[in-house]
């Protein structure tokens, strides 16, 4: 027999819906970042920016060095071509001026570089198995390249250069 004297109350719609909402809220994704997440993200991004800036600095220094080496090679090539056409007696004591692109200029005012040619005043030793006449057909000179800055000149490179007598 069933007892109808105290029927159980039917579940109310409001209590079920509030229960569903409270369970649903637990599984909702958060809508923002916490403070610690923001601090970590800023730290990582700052580290990445500093690494890129350091790499750019190294790259720019390497580019500047490569540009200077290229200009020095252009200047040496021009000096070498001039010395091939010069008598051996007149090799030392020459100076030439070059612009920032490595082209020879006549005026010292337009010069970015100056190249000086000097003789080391040493006898050239004969190569093994060759005649001693090599010193009559080959001369060694020193070429010093200076960067011309207003008020001063800075030595950037010095090269020994072997010059063969043209025939």
Over residues 3-52, the pLDDT tens digits come to: 556 556 555 555 666 656 665 555 656 678 889 999 999 999 999 999 99
- Contact between 139 and 161 (Cβ < 8 Å): no
pLDDT, tens only, 74-132 = 999 988 888 888 777 777 788 889 988 888 898 888 788 989 988 765 544 444 555 55
pTM: 0.62
pLDDT at 58: 93
Mean pLDDT, range 64-78, rounded to an integer? 91
Residues 6 or more apart whose CB falls under 8 angstroms from that of 79 comprise 96, 115, 117, 143, 161
Sheet containing strand 113-118, strands side by side: 104-105, 94-98, 113-118, 138-149, 152-164
pLDDT at 128: 53
Tokens of 26: 């637990």
pLDDT at 127: 47
Q: Residue 75: what are its φ and ψ, rounded to 5°?
A: -65, -45
User: Is a pLDDT exceeding 60 seen at residue 68?
Assistant: yes
């Amino acid at each position: 027999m069933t007892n109808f004297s105290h029927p159980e109350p039917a579940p109310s719609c409001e209590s079920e819906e509030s229960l569903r909402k409270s369970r649903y809220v637990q599984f909702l994704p958060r809508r923002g970042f916490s403070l610690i997440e923001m601090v970590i993200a800023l730290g990582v991004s700052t580290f990445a920016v500093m690494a890129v800036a350091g790499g750019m600095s190294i790259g720019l220094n390497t580019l500047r060095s490569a540009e200077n080496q290229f200009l020095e090679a252009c200047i040496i090539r021009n000096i070498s071509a001039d010395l091939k056409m010069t008598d051996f007696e007149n090799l030392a004591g020459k100076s030439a001026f070059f612009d920032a692109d490595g082209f020879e200029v006549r005026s010292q005012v337009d010069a970015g570089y100056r190249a000086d040619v000097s003789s080391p005043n040493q006898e050239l030793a004969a190569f093994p198995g060759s005649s001693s006449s090599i010193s009559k057909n080959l001369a060694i000179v020193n070429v010093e390249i200076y960067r011309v800055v207003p008020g001063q000149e800075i030595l950037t490179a010095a090269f020994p250069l072997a010059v063969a007598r043209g025939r």
